[in-house]
């Protein structure tokens, strides 16, 4: 995606090429974004020449199925030495190299500098994040398909909820259904029942589902793109006060989404939410939302003092919550595609069930 736009950034910053790598099980999001390849190896994007992948022999066939058609074989044990050799063969200048500091560990950097002596490096991570926050039409089609899967799985989980006994039953079902569709989860599902729901990032346990509000935060990954959705249901029968609090939060969330316009400042949207929550604002203990793409947390940031602005073709979450320590918690999260008006991608009922 957006290789030419990225090469213009390299040109503007006077960089000879950008180097992205993946050496472990954790996928480098920028390497995936620019190439569609999530295997071992490196992606080289020269300032003017066509990009290419350098991959171990066992990964070459997989790499050739990516968006990058130039693929070279390498010796994984001589990782940066192989990269250096191939760059020289392609007659690419290597005095100024753009790297992604967010995905370049200190140990790897030391190994890199041993091979690329005397080069100057420049962090390109923020430029990548900014480039990724505006989705292309191709990305939007993939993301919509991803949400079709995510919505289907979460709806099925809610419809079968009476069959579950424990929090881990619910999270296990979400993961099983995801794998059944040939997908991966975007993150470990959160299933927090009763007083456990007062912790926004609680990890589900093999404990009996507690009576009260039960929060489920879930997402899938399809063709490298993530989904994100949170729904709060009720185990047992809610009393009138509990219904009132939930419906109050729901109305705040709906109002925020309805009022978002292109050009809005993300920090101001957050401040508006805090104001709308009134006396409950002190129990709202996290940001209002974040971008979603090849990573589940991307730009824009809808947080206090954020200077990010809403632009067409951004994909981001709106997820206000209320958390009373050791008592209960609730969060309602939708992911929105910004067109002329916000389009909700999370097609899962929000009424208290």
| Best CA proximity match to 149, nearest among 127, 130, 177 | 177
E strands in the chain: 17-22, 41-46, 52-56, 71-74, 96-99, 120-123, 184-185, 190-193, 212-218, 220-222, 225-226, 229-235, 289-291, 298-302, 315-318, 321-324, 328-331, 334-338, 342-344
Q: Measure Cα distances from 54 to 44, 193, 224 in Å.
A: 8, 47, 20
Q: Bridge partners of 99?
A: 19, 123
Long-range contacts of 300-303 (CB under 8 A, 24+ apart): 300/133, 300/266, 301/266, 302/266, 302/267, 302/269, 302/270, 303/266, 303/267, 303/270
At residue 216, the 3 state secondary structure works out as: strand
Across the chain, which has 353 residues, the per-10-residue mean pLDDT values are: 93 96 87 94 95 94 94 85 92 94 89 91 96 97 98 98 96 98 97 96 94 98 97 96 97 98 98 97 97 97 97 98 96 98 97 84
The domain locations on the chain are 3-132, 134-344
| Best CA proximity match to 333, nearest among 252, 242, 259, 222 | 252
Exposure pattern of 284-303 as b/e (b: 16+ CB <10 Å)?
Answer: beebbbbbbbbbbebbbbbb
Domain 134-344 classification at class level: alpha beta
* pLDDT score, position 87: 93
Beta-strand relationship, 71-74 and 52-56: parallel
* pLDDT score, position 284: 97
| Whole-structure pTM value | 0.94
Q: Are 191 and 170 in contact (CB under 8 A)?
A: yes
- What are the φ and ψ backbone dihedral angles of 317, each rounded to 5 degrees? -100, 155
| Best CA proximity match to 164, nearest among 151, 176, 147, 146 | 176
* pLDDT score, position 185: 97
Check whether domain 3-132 has CATH 3.40.350.10, yes or no: yes
């Amino acid at each position: 995606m957006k290789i030419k736009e990225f090469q213009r950034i390299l040109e503007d910053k006077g960089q000879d090429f950008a180097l992205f790598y993946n050496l472990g099980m954790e996928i480098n999001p920028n390497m995936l974004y620019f190439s569609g390849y999530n295997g071992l190896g490196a992606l080289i994007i020269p300032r003017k020449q066509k990009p290419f992948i350098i991959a171990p022999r066992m990964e070459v066939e997989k790499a050739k199925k990516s968006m990058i058609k130039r693929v070279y074989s390498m010796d994984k044990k001589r990782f940066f030495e192989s990269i250096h050799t191939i760059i020289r063969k392609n007659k690419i200048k290597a005095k100024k190299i753009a790297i992604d500091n967010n995905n370049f560990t200190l140990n790897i950097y030391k190994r890199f500098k041993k091979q690329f002596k005397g080069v100057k490096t420049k962090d390109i991570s923020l430029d990548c994040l900014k480039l990724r926050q505006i989705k292309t039409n191709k990305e939007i089609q993939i993301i919509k398909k991803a949400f079709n899967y995510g919505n289907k799985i979460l709806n099925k989980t809610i419809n079968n909820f009476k069959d579950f006994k424990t929090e881990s039953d619910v999270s296990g079902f979400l993961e099983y259904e995801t794998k059944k569709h040939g997908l991966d989860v975007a993150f470990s599902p959160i299933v927090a029942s009763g007083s456990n729901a007062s912790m926004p990032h609680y990890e589900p346990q093999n404990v009996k589902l507690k009576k009260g509000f039960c929060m489920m935060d879930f997402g899938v990954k399809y063709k490298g793109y993530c989904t994100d959705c949170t729904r709060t249901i009720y185990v047992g029968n809610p009393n009138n006060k509990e219904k009132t609090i939930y419906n109050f939060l729901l109305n705040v969330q709906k109002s925020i989404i309805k009022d978002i316009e292109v050009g809005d400042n993300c920090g101001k949207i957050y401040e508006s939410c805090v104001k709308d929550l009134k006396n409950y604002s002190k129990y709202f203990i996290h940001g209002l939302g974040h971008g979603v793409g090849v990573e589940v947390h991307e730009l824009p940031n809808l947080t206090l003092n954020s200077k990010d602005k809403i632009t067409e073709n951004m994909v981001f979450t709106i997820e206000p919550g209320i958390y009373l320590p050791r008592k209960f918690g609730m969060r309602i999260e939708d992911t929105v595609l910004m067109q002329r008006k916000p389009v909700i991608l999370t097609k899962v009922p929000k009424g208290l069930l």
